[in-house]
């Protein structure tokens, strides 16, 4: 079996090489057949890697200890689940798992984009296969997971490290690797765009979604790692700025920056060089992170161990990536020049995005620098200096707060330029929310300035987001005449990316709330004789007894701790230390006992024990608000999910159900369940949702449906006969009502012009004598309104608050709001 | 255009200088010397009063724990126990929880300061013991034969 595995890896390497060469040659010569064969080869690699994966998992399941890797990572008694996860438990297997994921991801990405981005695909294939080749090379010559023992195979393996035998650790690496590997796809498309010179925004569209998916997995992987550290490493925290953690968070920073700056390029065609750079950097940092954790360059408790040869190979690869990619960027600079590179104003959303990008990039560089600092200082001065978590915190705390502030600031600023009036109107509520929160907290006696600032900013961001949802829903309610909740659902459904993004921001706020809770953490260690108790915060804990419990795989020493709060016993907790049979000459695993509540966690660690006297030293940690971090990640995933929903999600949902009512109810119930759980479904019955297009009752309706375009702004102004969005459904109903009231064609048009406040709903402007006059009327009305608004706005900005609101101001404000809304919803 | 570039360059220079300065000042507070036992013994004078991370190996049988307290005393040597030649030796004092991996022969990194009596006092939670077999670093897992 082992030789089959090695053979598969070797042939994958060869096929990869073929894929790279044939697609490049095919693209140069314009040979469709060569390109197709390259794509085929890429699929083949995925297939080969799948078989190789099957082979190694089979080896784990059948306890084939003649393979060294299996012997080192598994044992006969290991639970089935952990036998499978052992696949990525060690260095060699993790590289193989990496290649497997990359080959699958790459194939899917190529398959999806094959037709849409024909000109890019050959180079995408070439890039992906080159990256695969590198990792396959690592395995074949250096870290082959299929290496067998030259001596007789051992009777049993040593088993997976006990610390890794944990549910979270089983799913953390796949999630993190998926995130890392996913970042290869945007890189491949970016490179392809650079090589071919197709530098319009189409490559961005291809990778936006991918980056989002990869980012989601990366975030999720980070969270799983944090939960694992919190539950298993038993030190009471979840983030210690360890090099391995840092390595994982580096690409997260740049990917987050990219997801923001990509919007600026879409809207304003700015930051093109910047975006390509971010994509390249993100990919580079994934490789850099892999290098850090696997080469032993930095000291870490989690690292895989020293390996100078691996370090050299990785360094070479990284140099090649940087030289090649940035060489291409420089070569293509003339093509990348932005059409409008100047910012209109520093008080604009572009500027906020730019600031966000700089800070995120700074985070990445700072963390990279501080992580590498020991190595750097040794190389430069000869003395190894290190920096610890306090140094990171000193820097990352203020930076994090600024980022949080920008999260709230961005949505408040308009694109291009914000006027003073605009700013006052936008900032009133959020700033108010912040002040009220700060006042309330200060009155309650909170003093920690960093935590206070954080809570205040959280309130600021939350009010901003709330205001965005509220105003959007109000405008939509007015336009569609539905109730608020319906309007809210419609709003999110129509601008999934934008409102999904806001939900992600809410998640981020919750995470920051959790971080701020850290400021109030209590951590006390004390020796407890049997029956003795100690008090930390609101909790009193008592050492009842210490027992030894034995199961087949391990022997555990368990302390029985009674927990009291307010004089009453609320719980009994069992912190423990477990010695694994197969790891007897290794230290036992400390199993912390955690009592989770939303306000705070009680975290007990059995630090040491004396079975004779039953005395224990107990580490008691009270961790306020920790669970908000996990909740925040949940919301972040939910928001990303909404942003990722395909445009046609709702129409799919509808197409499968016969009658519109049933469909509406079904989708509404699903949406309601997603949002608020079952109790909300009563409301959801009213949800107005995009329907399948009803058949026109007569010729007039049929004709007019073609003449009128949907005004929702997200569907490229499609005719009512085609558009399936909710707005179109509403407009079809309006049209039906007009026809039913017996009006003729022109009357309907005029009446709709009045209703919709302009001619924008018409697919093509009508150009007939009489109609021009009819049209003029609302236009005059609108023009007067606009001039009125301008005059009022000018007088406001000139004379401050002395001018009274004129009669038509509310109406104009509403117009403005709608205009703003439509402008904002241009995606 | 050139005018714009000058502005950008000036901003960049000022910003990086500011960051550099801040970085330097915080680094002075935050950075700790990472030294092996041999180095600490030979450079004792220059390291007095500075924050030091001491790297060494716990000598088996030297770990003393005062009963019913978290006070520890032990000795570390410069070279791995299996190397035969111990190198320099230092006495360590520590109060707090020791990690599970802390025991004789363990490779440890201790954060703390030199004491006037020639020993080393470890900060609270300053004991980091390397687990030899976490993942598959050298030593823990069966050393692959033939390589």
Report chain B residues whose CB lies below 8 A from the CB of A158: 141-142
For residue range A2-41, what is the model confidence (pLDDT) as tens digits? Answer: 888 899 999 999 999 999 999 999 999 988 889 999 999 9
- Beta-carbon contacts of A85 under 8 Å, excluding residues fewer than 6 positions away, are A160, A164, A169, A170
CA gap B96, A285 in Å, rounded: 37
The residue in chain B having the minimum alpha-carbon distance to the alpha carbon of residue A579 is B100
Tokens of A95: 């590289």
Which band of pLDDT confidence, cut at 50, 70 and 90, is reported for residue A668?
low
Q: What is the pLDDT of residue B36?
A: 84
Percent of all residues in chain A with a pLDDT value above 70, rounded to a whole number:
79
For residue range A255-276, what is the model confidence (pLDDT) as tens digits? Answer: 999 999 888 888 777 788 888 9
Q: What is the pLDDT of residue A683?
A: 31
CA gap B81, B88 in Å, rounded: 12
Report chain A residues whose CB lies below 8 A from the CB of B132: 586
CATH code at B32-130: 2.40.50.140
- The closest CB to that of B128, out of A91, A301, A588, belongs to A301
Q: What is the mean pLDDT of residues A404-411?
A: 87
For residue range B30-82, what is the model confidence (pLDDT) as tens digits? Answer: 777 888 888 888 888 887 878 888 888 888 888 888 877 778 889 888 888 77
If you average pLDDT over every residue of chain A, what do you get?
79
Q: What is the mean pLDDT of residues A397-425?
A: 83
Residue B21 · residue B65 · CB < 8 Å: no
- The closest CB to that of A527, out of B68, B132, B135, belongs to B68
Q: Which residue has the higher pLDDT, A736 or A650?
A: A736
CATH code at A520-628: 2.60.98
* Helix, coil or strand: residue A346: coil
Residue A296 · residue A400 · CB < 8 Å: no
Residue in the block written with tokens 């909790």: A539
Report chain B residues whose CB lies below 8 A from the CB of A362: 19
Which band of pLDDT confidence, cut at 50, 70 and 90, is reported for residue A396?
confident
Q: Select from A260, A261, A311, A306 the least CA-distant residue to A287.
A: A311
Domain range list for chain B: 1-31, 32-130
- The closest CB to that of A374, out of B34, B138, B140, belongs to B34
CA gap A285, A272 in Å, rounded: 20
CA gap A93, A53 in Å, rounded: 9
Which band of pLDDT confidence, cut at 50, 70 and 90, is reported for residue A285?
very high
Query: Could you tell me if A585 lies within 8 Å of chain B, comparing CB atoms?
Result: no
Q: What is the pLDDT of residue A610?
A: 82
Q: How far is A797 from chain B (nearest CA, A)?
A: 30
Residue A179 · residue A215 · CB < 8 Å: yes
**pLDDT tops 50 at residue A653:** no
Question: ∠ CA A537-A542-A545 to the nearest 5 degrees?
Answer: 150
Residue A377 · residue A387 · CB < 8 Å: no
Which band of pLDDT confidence, cut at 50, 70 and 90, is reported for residue A761?
low
Strand partners for A602: A595, A622
Q: Number of Cβ pairs closer than 8 Å across A and B?
A: 111
Q: What is the mean pLDDT of residues B15-33?
A: 78
CA gap A282, A275 in Å, rounded: 10
The least confident of A286-290, A430-434, A799-803, B71-75 is A799-803
**Sign of the dihedral defined by the CA atoms of residues A686, A691, A695, A696, in that order:** positive
Q: What is the pLDDT of residue A773?
A: 47
Q: Which of A306-310, A754-758, B131-135 has the highest mean pLDDT?
A: A306-310
CA gap A370, A391 in Å, rounded: 8
Q: What is the mean pLDDT of residues A275-288?
A: 93
**pLDDT tops 50 at residue A688:** no
End-to-end, the C-alpha distance of chain B in Å comes to 61
**pLDDT tops 80 at residue A101:** yes
Report chain B residues whose CB lies below 8 A from the CB of A589: 100
Tokens of A585: 């000459």
Q: Select from A452, A288, A488, A317 the least CA-distant residue to A375.
A: A288
CA gap B50, A669 in Å, rounded: 65
**pLDDT tops 90 at residue A284:** yes
Best of A299, A376, A521, A615 to disrupt the B interface by mutation (most B CBs within 10 Å)?
Answer: A299
The reply to whether residue B146 touches residue A150, judged by beta carbons under 8 angstroms, is: yes
Domain range list for chain A: 1-165, 520-628, 649-686, 699-824
Q: What is the mean pLDDT of residues B95-121?
A: 82
Q: Select from A161, A204, A183 the least CA-distant residue to A101.
A: A183
* Complex ipTM value: 0.71
**pLDDT tops 60 at residue A684:** no
Q: What is the mean pLDDT of residues A686-693?
A: 41
CA gap A75, A704 in Å, rounded: 73
**pLDDT tops 70 at residue A225:** yes
Q: What is the pLDDT of residue A215?
A: 94
The least confident of A102-106, A558-562, A680-684 is A680-684
Q: How far is A451 from chain B (nearest CA, A)?
A: 21
Which band of pLDDT confidence, cut at 50, 70 and 90, is reported for residue A295?
low
Q: What is the pLDDT of residue A814?
A: 59
Q: Select from A478, A497, A500, A503 the least CA-distant residue to A727.
A: A478
**pLDDT tops 80 at residue A794:** no
For residue range A136-178, what is the model confidence (pLDDT) as tens digits? Answer: 998 888 888 888 887 777 877 777 777 777 777 778 888 888 9
Give pTM, 2 decimals: 0.75
Q: Print the SS3 string covering A328-340.
A: HHHHCHHHHCCCC
- The closest CB to that of A527, out of B33, B70, B128, belongs to B70
The residue in chain B having the minimum alpha-carbon distance to the alpha carbon of residue A299 is B130
Q: How far is A58 from chain B (nearest CA, A)?
A: 21
Q: What is the pLDDT of residue A810?
A: 47
Report chain B residues whose CB lies below 8 A from the CB of A71: 142
Query: Could you tell me if A373 lies within 8 Å of chain B, comparing CB atoms?
Result: yes
Q: How far is A576 from chain B (nearest CA, A)?
A: 12
Chain A stretch 606-665, residues whose beta carbon is closer than 8 A to a beta carbon of chain B? 607-608, 615, 617, 619
- The closest CB to that of B138, out of A89, A306, A386, belongs to A306
Q: What is the mean pLDDT of residues B102-112?
A: 83
The least confident of A567-576, A761-770, B112-121 is A761-770
For residue range A583-631, what is the model confidence (pLDDT) as tens digits? Answer: 666 677 888 899 988 888 999 988 888 888 888 888 899 999 999 999 9
What CA–CA distances, in Å, run from A400 to A210, A359, A513, A826?
Answer: 26, 9, 12, 30
Best of A71, A93, A294, A385 to disrupt the B interface by mutation (most B CBs within 10 Å)?
Answer: A385
- The closest CB to that of B97, out of A301, A588, A607, belongs to A607
Q: What is the pLDDT of residue A677?
A: 39
- The closest CB to that of A305, out of B26, B35, B136, belongs to B136
């Amino acid at each position: 079996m082992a030789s089959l595995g090695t053979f598969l890896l070797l042939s994958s390497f060869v096929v990869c090489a073929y894929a790279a060469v044939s697609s490049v040659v095919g693209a140069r010569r314009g040979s469709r057949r060569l390109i197709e064969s390259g794509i085929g080869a890429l699929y083949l690699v995925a297939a080969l890697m799948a078989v190789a994966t099957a082979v190694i998992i089979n080896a784990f399941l059948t306890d084939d200890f003649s393979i060294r890797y299996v012997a080192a990572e598994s044992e006969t008694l290991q639970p089935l689940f952990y036998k499978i996860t052992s696949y990525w438990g060690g260095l060699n297997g993790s590289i193989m798992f990496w290649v497997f994921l990359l080959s699958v991801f790459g194939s899917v990405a190529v398959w999806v984009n094959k037709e849409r981005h024909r000109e890019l695909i050959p180079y995408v294939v070439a890039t992906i296969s080159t990256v695969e080749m590198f990792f396959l090379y690592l395995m074949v010559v250096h870290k082959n997971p299929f290496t067998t023992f030259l001596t007789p195979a051992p009777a049993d393996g040593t088993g997976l490290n006990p610390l890794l035998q944990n549910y979270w650790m089983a799913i953390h690496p796949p999630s993190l690797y998926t995130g890392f590997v996913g970042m290869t796809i945007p890189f491949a498309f970016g490179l392809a765009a650079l090589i071919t010179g197709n530098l319009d925004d189409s490559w961005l569209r291809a990778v936006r979604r991918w980056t989002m998916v990869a980012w989601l997995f990366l975030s999720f992987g980070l969270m799983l790692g944090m939960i694992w550290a919190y539950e298993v490493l038993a030190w009471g925290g979840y983030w210690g700025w360890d090099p391995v953690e840092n390595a994982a968070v580096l690409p997260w920073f740049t990917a987050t920056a990219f997801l923001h700056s990509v919007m600026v390029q879409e809207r304003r065609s700015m930051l093109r060089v910047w975006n390509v750079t971010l994509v390249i950097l993100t990919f580079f940092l994934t490789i850099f992170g892999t290098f850090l954790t696997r080469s032993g360059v930095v000291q870490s408790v989690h690292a895989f161990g020293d390996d100078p040869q691996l370090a050299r190979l990785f360094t070479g690869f990284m140099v090649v990536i940087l030289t090649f990619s940035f060489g291409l960027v420089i070569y293509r600079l003339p093509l990348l020049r932005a059409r409008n590179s100047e910012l209109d104003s520093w008080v604009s959303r572009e500027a906020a995005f730019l600031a966000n990008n700089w800070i995120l990039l700074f985070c990445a560089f700072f963390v990279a620098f501080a992580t590498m600092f020991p190595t750097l200082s040794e190389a430069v001065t000869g003395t190894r200096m290190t920096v610890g978590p306090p140094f990171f915190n000193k820097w990352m705390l203020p930076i994090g707060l600024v980022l949080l502030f920008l999260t709230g600031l961005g949505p408040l600023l308009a694109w291009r330029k914000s006027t003073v009036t605009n700013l006052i109107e936008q900032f009133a509520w959020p700033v108010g929310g912040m002040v009220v929160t700060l006042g309330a907290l200060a009155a309650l006696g909170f003093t920690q300035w960093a935590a206070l600032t954080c809570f205040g900013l959280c309130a600021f961001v939350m009010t901003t987001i709330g205001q965005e949802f509220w105003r959007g829903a109000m405008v939509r309610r007015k336009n569609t005449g539905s109730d608020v909740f319906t309007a809210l659902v419609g709003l999110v459904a129509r601008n999934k990316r934008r409102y999904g993004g806001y939900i992600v921001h809410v998640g981020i706020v919750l995470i920051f709330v959790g971080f701020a809770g850290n400021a109030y953490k209590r951590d006390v260690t004390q020796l407890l004789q049997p029956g003795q108790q100690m008090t930390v915060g609101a909790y009193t804990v008592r050492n009842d007894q210490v027992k030894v419990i034995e199961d087949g795989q391990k022997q555990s020493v368990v302390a029985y701790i009674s927990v009291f709060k307010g004089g009453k016993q609320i719980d009994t907790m069992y912190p423990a230390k477990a010695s694994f049979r197969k790891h007897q000459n290794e230290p036992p695993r400390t199993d912390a006992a955690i009592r989770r509540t939303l306000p705070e966690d009680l975290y007990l660690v059995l630090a040491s024990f004396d079975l004779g006297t039953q005395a224990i030293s107990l580490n008691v940690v009270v961790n306020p608000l920790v669970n908000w971090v996990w909740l925040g990640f949940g919301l972040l995933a939910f928001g990303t999910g909404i942003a990722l929903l395909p445009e046609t999600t709702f129409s799919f949902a509808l197409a499968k159900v016969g009658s519109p009512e049933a469909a509406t109810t079904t989708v509404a119930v699903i949406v309601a369940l997603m949002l608020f759980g079952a109790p909300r479904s009563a409301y959801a019955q009213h949800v107005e949702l995009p329907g399948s297009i009803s058949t026109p009752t007569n010729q007039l309706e049929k004709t007019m449906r073609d003449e009128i375009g949907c005004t929702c702004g997200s569907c490229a102004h499609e005719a009512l006969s085609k558009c399936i969005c909710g707005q179109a459904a509403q407009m079809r109903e309006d049209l039906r009502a007009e026809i039913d009231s017996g009006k003729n064609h022109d009357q309907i048009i005029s009446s709709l012009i009045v209703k919709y406040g302009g001619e924008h709903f018409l697919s093509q402007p009508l150009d007939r004598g009489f109609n021009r006059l009819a049209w003029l009327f609302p236009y005059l009305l609108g023009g007067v309104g606009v001039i009125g608004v301008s005059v009022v706005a000018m007088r406001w900005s000139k004379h401050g608050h002395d001018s009274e609101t004129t009669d038509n101001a509310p109406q104009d404000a509403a117009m403005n709001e709608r205009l703003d809304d439509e402008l904002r919803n241009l995606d | 255009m050139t005018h714009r570039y000058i502005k950008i360059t000036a901003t960049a220079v000022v910003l990086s200088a500011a960051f550099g300065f801040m970085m330097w000042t915080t680094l002075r507070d935050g950075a700790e010397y990472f030294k092996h036992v041999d180095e600490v013994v030979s450079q004792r004078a220059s390291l007095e009063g500075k924050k030091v991370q001491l790297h060494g190996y716990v000598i088996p049988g030297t770990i003393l724990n005062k009963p019913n307290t978290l006070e520890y005393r032990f000795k570390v040597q410069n070279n791995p126990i299996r190397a035969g030649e111990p190198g320099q030796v230092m006495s360590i004092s520590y109060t707090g929880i020791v990690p599970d991996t802390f025991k004789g022969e363990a490779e440890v990194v201790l954060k703390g300061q030199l004491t006037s009596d020639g020993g080393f006092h470890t900060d609270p939670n300053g004991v980091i013991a390397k687990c030899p077999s976490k993942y598959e670093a050298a030593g823990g897992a069966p050393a692959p034969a033939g390589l």
